């Protein structure tokens, strides 16, 4: 690993390989790091090839250095300003539907709430002719 490389430093490197999960960037003759797909740019990246290709020179920020594994985590997005947030439109409030009381003839149709059925179930549970033995 390069001795001059520190977490937080911004360096220029050259893309040496592109994979579906990220891009490999050579920082110098001995050091290479990975820019994960989530660190390519602000926003969602479906295909890295739309943003980078082998041979591109990129400015990257060092996110992590793992000396024992020989891995360097890099970010292109950390070197760019975040895009301005657009104002989010508030969602329209949904009208709440209120329950309507139906005449008894219509009450048997459709679904009944538990509260409406509770007394009926209590009465049924106490009827001898409905109790299984």
Domain architecture of the chain: domains with CATH: 10-79 (2.40.50.140)
| Element of type H or E holding 18 | strand 10-19
**Residue 16: how many CA atoms within 13 Å on its side-chain side?**
13
pLDDT score for 88: 67
Structure-token pair, residue 56:
């591109």
Question: How many other β-carbons are positioned within 10 Å of the β-carbon of residue 49?
Answer: 11
pLDDT score for 60: 93
DSSP 3-state of 66 = strand
Encode the chain (133 residues) as per-residue pLDDT tens digits.
556 788 898 999 999 999 999 999 998 888 899 999 999 988 888 999 999 999 999 999 999 988 888 889 999 998 888 777 766 667 777 766 666 665 555 555 566 677 778 888 888 888 777 666 6
Q: Which residue has the tokens 């579906």?
A: 20
User: Residues 53, 17: contact at Cβ < 8 Å?
Assistant: no
């Amino acid at each position: 690993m390069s001795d001059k490389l520190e977490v937080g430093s911004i360096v220029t490197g050259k893309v040496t390989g592109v994979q579906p999960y990220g891009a490999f960037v050579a920082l110098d003759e001995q050091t290479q790091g990975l820019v994960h797909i989530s660190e390519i740019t602000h926003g969602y990246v479906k295909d890295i090839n739309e943003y980078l290709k082998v041979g591109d020179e990129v400015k990257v920020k060092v996110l992590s250095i793992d000396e024992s594994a020989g891995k360097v985590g890099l970010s292109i997005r950390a070197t760019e300003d975040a895009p301005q947030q657009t104002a989010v439109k508030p969602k329209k409030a949904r009208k709440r539907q209120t329950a309507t009381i139906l005449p008894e003839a219509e009450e048997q149709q459709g679904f009944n709430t538990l509260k409406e059925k509770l007394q009926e179930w209590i009465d049924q549970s106490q009827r001898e002719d409905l109790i299984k033995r």
